Amino acid sequence: MKPASFDFLCPDTLEETLAALADGGGDARVLAGGQSLVPMLNMRLARPALLVDIMRLEPLRRIDTSGDEIVVGAGVRQAELEAWPSLSRDLPLLAAVFPWLGHVQTRARGTVCGSIAHADPSAELPLSLVTLGGAVSLRSRNRKRKVKADDFFIGMMATDLAEGEMIEAVHFPKARPGGGYAFREVGRRHGDFAIVACAAVADDKGLRLGIAGVDDRPRVFPLPALDDDQFDDAINDIAWSLDARDDFHASARYRRELVRGLGRETLKEASRCRA
């Protein structure tokens, strides 16, 4: 349970960071808060040749409002966004999610973008980003691009991040006026990885349900109104369309049942919150 050895770089500029990542290729990894990467290092599931610590890069440590988006830089810790004064007004879904996201002790160090980069299929922040229809800004030495959240997560802990690239920021769309947002989760212990987590949005575009912990990545689906005759069939079809699997924590059947039950509860709460 000790990391294998690696070179360490703590750059003062973004240019230096991107150059190191470009030279390191697939053997270089970005280190931010370390709450996902250091366990992987300890278990030697990750053995990078070079770690690039980005926490001294001041420009990445900002939360900005840009038009209809909240832009969270790669150096922003989860606890910092949790304490951001406009959170419950602009990102009410995240205000509901934070108490479930790891523990106080891991949110103090872990970053928002780090959790997005780690892409655990049961993690709350990737689920929130996909459900809200957010995006990820990626940066490498020669290229800058913005990828929709739904295209960024491509599989079990797999993302569209290319060699030499890093997440510069994530973009969460601001809450729409009168929109309702809700989050529910079932896990073995508060703060542990979710067995199934649901995030729901009810706004002028209708109902949407995001689901984590079932498929190999977070997924989001539109749904008819709760009192619609088609609702039961629709949520049942969603439960069956996900690639639910049996594992040590729960059976596939239980996960599908949670999608139906927890999904409905979460949508109900979001609809109630809709002004």
Nearer to other proteins, 181 or 193 (CB): 193
Q: How far is the CB of 23 from other proteins (least distance, A)?
A: 10
Nearer to other proteins, 34 or 179 (CB): 34
Placement of tokens 């990626």 in the chain = 138
Q: Which residues, at least 6 apart from 6, have a Cβ–Cβ distance to it below 8 Å?
A: 41, 47, 48, 49, 50, 51
Q: Which helix (H) or strand (E) holds 241?
A: helix 231-241
Q: How far apart are CA 163 and CA 19, in angstroms?
A: 12
Residues that bind other proteins (CB under 8 A): 1-12, 20, 31, 34-35, 38-39, 41-43, 49-51, 53, 55, 79, 99, 102-106, 108-109, 189-192
Nearer to other proteins, 53 or 265 (CB): 53
Q: How far is the CB of 27 from other proteins (least distance, A)?
A: 12
Nearer to other proteins, 23 or 68 (CB): 23
Q: How far is the CB of 26 from other proteins (least distance, A)?
A: 17
What DSSP state is assigned to residue 100? G
Q: How far is the CB of 250 from other proteins (least distance, A)?
A: 18
Distances (CA, A) of 191 to 9, 112, 260, 264: 32, 16, 22, 22
Nearer to other proteins, 16 or 265 (CB): 16
Q: How far is the CB of 3 from other proteins (least distance, A)?
A: 4
